[in-house]
Amino acid sequence: MKKREKGKNFLIQAHETLRAKPTVATVYIVLRFLVLVVLVAQFFNRNFENVFLCVLTLGLFLLPTMLEKRLEIDLPNALEIIILLFIFAAEILGEIRSYYTTFPYWDTMLHTLNGFLCAAIGFSLVDLCNRHKRVSLSLTPVYMAIVAFCFSMTVGVLWEFFECAMDQLFLLDMQKDTVVHSIASVMLDPTGTQIPVAIHGITDVIVVTEEEQIALGLGGYLDIGILDTMKDLWVNFIGAVVFSIVGYFYVKNRGKGRFARSLIPQVLDESSSQGKE
C-alpha cells in the first residue's frame, strides 16, 4: 500500500512539475501521444518486443522529473526537451521505425548528442556539489571540465560494453557491421612471427558452415562492429569536448552564458523547493 501511495504521489508531483513548464509539457504530451499510437499499432501487429520498447520509452520520459525530485534541482527547459527528444529518437524512430538502417548517420548523430548530454550531466553533478551548502567540494573550472569529459567518455565506453555483451549473448548486432575492402592481420602470417599480412581489393567473402558455403555478396569484407564502436566513441568524444569547453567558460564567467545556462541544472534553494512541493 505504501509503495502504491508513493507511486501516486510521484505521478501527481510529476504532473505538477510539468504544468509549471508549459513548453516542456507540450513536448512531453505530443511525444507521449505519438508513443501511445505506435504502441497500439505494434500491439495489433503482434510485435510485442516493440510494445515493450514503447512502454520503456514512456517510463524513460519520466526520468527528467525523477532527477529533479531526487536531486532537488531544476532542469532547464532546453535540456529537458533535448532529453525527451533524444529518448524518442533513439527508441521509437531508431529502433521501431528503423532509422538506424534507413539513415546511415542517425546513430552517429545520437552518439554525438549522447556525448554532449552526458558531459552536461557530469558537469552538472560537479557543479551542484560545488554550489551545494552540505557538500564541501570546490573544483576549478578546468577540473570541472575534465570531470565532465571523463564522465561522458566513461558512459560511452560502458554503453559499448553493453552493446558488445548483447551481440555476444543474444546476437542482436547492436554494434553494426561495416564493409571494408582492405584488411591486415597477423593471423594470416604463415610463419607465425606476428607480421601482419595485408589483403587489398576485397570484393566478396565466402562463409563456410557445416552445411553449405555462402557467398555474402557484400562487395567487400565484413568488419564485425570494430569500426562502428570506434566511430561511436569518437563522436562521443567530440560531443564531450564541446560541452566541456562550454562548461568551462560558464564557470569562468558565472551567470553570463545563455547557452550554457540553458543546459546546466540549477540547485533549488529551500524556499523554492518548498514552494514546489
Q: How many CB atoms lie within 10 A of CB 118?
A: 23
Residue 75: pLDDT band (50, 70, 90) is confident
Q: Answer yes or no: is pLDDT of 83 > 80.
A: yes
- 3-class DSSP state of 62: coil
Q: Is the dihedral of CA 149, 152, 156, 161 positive or negative?
A: positive
Closest by Cα among 259, 170, 183 to 226: 183
Share of the chain above pLDDT 70, in %: 86
Residue 269: pLDDT band (50, 70, 90) is low
The C-alpha angle 95, 96, 100, rounded to 5 degrees, equals 40
Q: Residues 197, 185: contact at Cβ < 8 Å?
A: yes
Cell triple for 43: 500491439
- pLDDT higher at 15 or 238: 238
Q: Answer yes or no: is pLDDT of 3 > 80.
A: no
Q: Residues 88, 56: contact at Cβ < 8 Å?
A: no
Closest by Cα among 65, 68, 40 to 54: 40
Q: How confident is the model at residue 134, as a pLDDT?
A: 62
Segment 79-106 mean pLDDT: 93
- pLDDT higher at 210 or 115: 115
Q: How far apart are CA 169 and CA 171, in angstroms?
A: 6
Spell out the residues 6+ positions from residue 266 whose beta carbon is closer than 8 angstroms to its own. Answer: 73, 74, 76
* Region for 251 from its dihedrals, namely left if φ exceeds 0, alpha if ψ lies in -120 to 50, beta otherwise: alpha
- 3-class DSSP state of 23: helix
pTM of the model: 0.85
In angstroms, what CA-CA distances link 261 with 119, 265, 267?
Answer: 14, 8, 12
Residue whose cell numbers read 547492436: 174
Q: Render pLDDT for 17-69 as a digit per residue (tens, 0 to 9).
A: 677 788 999 999 999 999 999 999 999 999 999 999 999 999 999 888 888 87
Q: What is the mean pLDDT of the chain?
A: 86
Segment 144-162 mean pLDDT: 95
Q: How far apart are CA 17 and CA 72, in angstroms?
A: 12
In angstroms, what CA-CA distances link 259 with 141, 198, 264?
Answer: 17, 48, 9
Q: How confident is the model at residue 242, as a pLDDT?
A: 95
Residue 277: pLDDT band (50, 70, 90) is very low
Q: Is the dihedral of CA 28, 35, 229, 235 positive or negative?
A: negative
Segment 158-177 mean pLDDT: 92
